[in-house]
Amino acid sequence: ADLRRLAVQIRKAIGLTDDKPFPVGHFIEYVLPRLYDDFALEILPKSRLGEKHGETFPNKHLMRLREDVYIGICEGDGQHRFTGMHECAHLIYHEGVPLALARRSAKNLPVFRNSEWQADTLAAELLMPYEAVKDMGAWDIEQIYGVSPTAALCRRDKIDKEVMRYR
């Protein structure tokens, strides 16, 4: 619920209605530097990041994206757009949180306290706003919000489970 409220606030703050796809590249390039004076974005080759698509250091306001991921964001690739928002979510939500500690003890944490789950959930809420997509099929979510089929199906599945839990 907290992550959903935060996503609504962020979309509202940047003047984005729920019927529009989130401008991931614009957000990274223009909004984050306005939120954090010392924000740094590093675009690195795969030889530097290896299998990691990105990494973020919230306390340093530093985001690193693999070059192919950054290009994919610019080209509107759904999977890369999700990766970009996942890294943005770490920056926004995890400043002052000892992520390394949270990851090391993740087996003992409730899922909602896991930093990776939090980043995925905030990214999903930003990219596919609940109020707009709650009654949509996965294909419509994918087409309207520019996400991958996997992200759209996962969002649909989580919403369905949430609805079933409250019936």
The pLDDT tens digits along the chain (167 residues) read 999 999 999 999 999 999 999 999 999 999 999 999 999 999 999 999 999 999 999 999 999 999 999 999 999 999 999 999 999 999 999 887 665 444 545 566 666 668 899 999 999 999 999 999 999 999 999 999 999 999 999 999 999 988 777 66
Helices (H) and strands (E) in the chain, counts: 11, 3
Beta strands in 10-99 (DSSP E): 40-44, 54-57, 62-66
Are the CB atoms for 73 and 81 separated by under 8 Å? yes
Coil, helix or strand for 65? strand
Phi, psi for residue 22 in degrees, rounded to 5:
-70, 130
Are the CB atoms for 23 and 142 separated by under 8 Å? no
What's the pTM value of the predicted model, to 2 decimals? 0.89
From 75, 49, 50, select the one nearest 63 (Cα to Cα).
49
For the record, the structure tokens of 115 come out as 């930093």
Q: What is the DSSP letter of 27?
A: I
